[in-house]
Amino acid sequence: MSAFDPWDPAFLADPYPAYAELRARGRVHYYAPTNQWLVPRHADVSALLRDRRLGRTYQHRFTHEDFGRTPPPPEHEPFHTLNDHGMLDLEPPDHTRIRRLVSKAFTPRTVERLKPYVERLAGELVDGLVRRGGGDLLADIAEPLPVAVIAEMLGVPESDRAPLRPWSADICGMYELNPSQEAAQRAVRASVEFSGYLRELIAARRKEPGDDLISGLIAAHDEGDRLTEQEMISTCVLLLNAGHEATVNATAGGWWTLFRHPDQLAALRADHSLIPSAIEELMRYDTPLQLFERWVLDEIEIDGTTIPRGAELALLFGSANHDPAVFTDPGRLDLARADNPHISFSAGIHYCIGAPLARLELAASMRALLERAPTLTLAAEPRRKPNFVIRGLEGLQVRVG
Ligand code: HEM
C-alpha cells in the first residue's frame, strides 16, 4: 500500500514520513499483512481509545468462534493465561475491580513519596557512569532505575531481580505484530518461569507480609475483594513489565534524540526548568510505544467506512503524536513546547496507571545526567532494536569528560 511497512528497516529507522502519508490519505486504512484497520490521526485515536464499542479483549463477551478468530494454539496457553488476567487485557467489570485496587499504589501522593528514593538512586547510577568515564546509558542508567523502583514497590528482593528484564523482554516479544514461532516459544517459557517465581513470592508474603504492593494485594484478596491468585500473578507481571519496559526505551531514546539536536540539548543544559516539558516533548517526538490495538465489539463507522464486529483496529500513537492538526510543526523538536496533548500514555479506561511514576523516573535520570554529567556526549551511533510496537535502542554508548 504505502511506505507503511513495519518489517522494513528504513521504516523502523524513521516511521514518521509514512505516517504523514497515511494521515493525508484518510482517516482509516485496511492493512492486509496484519488484517487490521490503521488509524493515523490524533482526533480519531483519542476518541477511539475512549469508545466503549471497542475493547482490548473480546473474551468477556464473545468466544473466539463467535468472533471469527482461531483460538491460540494450546502450547501458547501459559502466555495467554498470564496475559489475559492482567488488567491491561481485561475490560469492565474485571478491569474496574483490579484497577481500583492497584491504583491506590500509584496516586500522585504515593508516587511523590518515592521521589527521594528515585532521585538518590538516579544520582548514584550517574555517579558510577561518570567515574567510569562513560558507558552504556541504556544498560547503566535507563534500565536499572525503573527495574529497581518497580521491584522495590512490589517487594521483589534484590537478589531475585536479574531475570526480571529477560523475562519481560521475552514476554513483550508477543506484543509485536505477527510474532514468530520462536518469539512465541520464548514468551511461553518466560511466562511459565515468571509465574512460578511469583507464585512462590506470593506464598512467602502470605506467610510473612511486608510493606509492599504484593502484601497489599494479598490483604485485599483476603478481605474478599475477589482478586484471584491468577489475577494477582498476572497483575504483578504486568506491573513489573509495564513498570520498566517503556521507561527504559523512553530514557535511552530520549537521549539519542537530544544528541541529534545539539541546539535543544544546549538550551536544556542552560535551563533545567525545561525538564518537565522536555520529557513530554521527547515522548511525543519519538513515541516509545508506537501502536495499540482494539477489537471492534460493536460495529463502528469511520469517515463513511463501516468496520464490522470482529475487526481489529491498530491505533497509531506515533502518527497521532505527529498530527499537524494538533501540533504546530510536529517534525520539529521543541523542548519548550507548551501545548502538548501527546497520547503516549494512552487515554480512556486503560490510561497508563504508572504515568506519574514514569514522569518521576524520567525527570530524575534527566536531572542527574544534566547536573552530574554536564559533558555527556555520544560515543557511538546506536543500533535500533528490530521491533515496531515497542520502539527502542539496543544500547547507547556515551562518554563523560
Ligand atoms: C514512559 C513510560 C511509559 C509509557 C510510555 C507507558 C505507556 C502506557 C500505555 C500507552 C498504556 C495503555 C495501553 C492501551 O491503551 O492499550 C499503559 C498502560 C499501563 N501502564 Fe504504562 N507506560 C509507561 C510507564 C509505566 C510505568 C512506570 C508503570 C508502572 C507500574 C506502568 C504501568 C501500566 C499499567 C499497569 C497499565 C495498564 C493500565 C490499564 O489497563 O488500566 N506504565 N502504559
- Nearest atom (ligand 1) to Cα of 349: 41
- Nearest atom (ligand 1) to Cα of 293: 16
How high is the pLDDT of residue 223? 67
Shortest-distance Cα residue to atom 19 of ligand 1: 352
In angstroms, what is the span from residue 358 Cα to ligand 1's centroid? Answer: 9
How high is the pLDDT of residue 219? 84
The b-or-e profile of 332-357 (16+ CB within 10 A means b, else e) is: ebbbebeeeebbbbbbebbebbbebb
Residue 37 contacts residue 307 (beta carbons within 8 Å): yes
Shortest-distance Cα residue to atom 43 of ligand 1: 352
Instruction: Answer whether residue 96 shows pLDDT above 70.
Output: yes
Measure CA 84 to chain center.
17
202 Cβ inside 6 Å of ligand 1: no
Banded pLDDT at 401 (limits 50, 70, 90): confident
Q: What percent of the chain has pLDDT over 90?
A: 87
Shortest-distance Cα residue to atom 39 of ligand 1: 350
57 Cβ inside 6 Å of ligand 1: no
In angstroms, what is the span from residue 344 Cα to ligand 1's centroid? Answer: 9
How high is the pLDDT of residue 162? 92
Average pLDDT, stretch 2-23? Answer: 94
How high is the pLDDT of residue 274? 98
Q: What percent of the chain has pLDDT over 70?
A: 98
Banded pLDDT at 218 (limits 50, 70, 90): confident
Instruction: Answer whether residue 368 shows pLDDT above 90.
Output: yes
The half-sphere exposure of 181 on its side-chain side, counting CA atoms within 13 A, is 2
Instruction: Answer whether residue 339 shows pLDDT above 70.
Output: yes
Shortest-distance Cα residue to atom 32 of ligand 1: 354
In angstroms, what is the span from residue 353 Cα to ligand 1's centroid? Answer: 6
Q: What average pLDDT does the chain have?
A: 94
Instruction: Answer whether residue 225 shows pLDDT above 80.
Output: no
Shortest-distance Cα residue to atom 18 of ligand 1: 352
Shortest-distance Cα residue to atom 21 of ligand 1: 352
The burial class, CB within 10 Å (0-12 / 13-18 / 19+), for 209 is: middle
Q: Cell for 376?
A: 555527556
Banded pLDDT at 124 (limits 50, 70, 90): very high
Q: How far apart are CA 128 and CA 311, in angstroms?
A: 50
How high is the pLDDT of residue 224? 65
Instruction: Answer whether residue 293 shows pLDDT above 60.
Output: yes
Which amino acid appears at position 81 of this protein? T
In angstroms, what is the span from residue 354 Cα to ligand 1's centroid? Answer: 6
Instruction: Answer whether residue 282 shows pLDDT above 60.
Output: yes
Q: How far apart are CA 199 and CA 237, in angstroms?
A: 11
Shortest-distance Cα residue to atom 36 of ligand 1: 352
359 Cβ inside 6 Å of ligand 1: no
In angstroms, what is the span from residue 355 Cα to ligand 1's centroid? Answer: 7
347 Cβ inside 6 Å of ligand 1: no
Q: How far apart are CA 210 and CA 93, in angstroms?
A: 29
Instruction: Answer whether residue 163 shows pLDDT above 70.
Output: yes
How high is the pLDDT of residue 27? 98
In angstroms, what is the span from residue 347 Cα to ligand 1's centroid? Answer: 10
Q: Element (H or E) spanning 314, and its range? A: strand 312-316
Pick 393 or 2 by higher pLDDT: 393
How high is the pLDDT of residue 178? 84
Q: Cell for 331?
A: 517534525
Measure CA 33 to chain center.
24
Shortest-distance Cα residue to atom 41 of ligand 1: 350
141 Cβ inside 6 Å of ligand 1: no
- Nearest atom (ligand 1) to Cα of 346: 10
Instruction: Answer whether residue 221 shows pLDDT above 80.
Output: no
Which amino acid appears at position 252 of this protein? A
Long-range interactions of 110-117: CB distance < 8 A, separation 24+: 111/356, 111/357, 111/360, 112/360, 114/149, 114/153, 114/357, 114/360, 115/360, 115/364, 117/149, 117/152
243 Cβ inside 6 Å of ligand 1: yes
282 Cβ inside 6 Å of ligand 1: no
In angstroms, what is the span from residue 351 Cα to ligand 1's centroid? Answer: 7
Instruction: Answer whether residue 144 shows pLDDT above 80.
Output: yes
357 Cβ inside 6 Å of ligand 1: yes
How high is the pLDDT of residue 222? 64
Instruction: Answer whether residue 1 shows pLDDT above 70.
Output: no
Q: Which of 165-179, 182-196, 382-396 is predicted with the least confidence, judged by mean pLDDT?
A: 165-179
- Nearest atom (ligand 1) to Cα of 289: 5
247 Cβ inside 6 Å of ligand 1: yes
Q: Which of 104-113, 185-194, 337-346 is predicted with the least confidence, judged by mean pLDDT?
A: 104-113
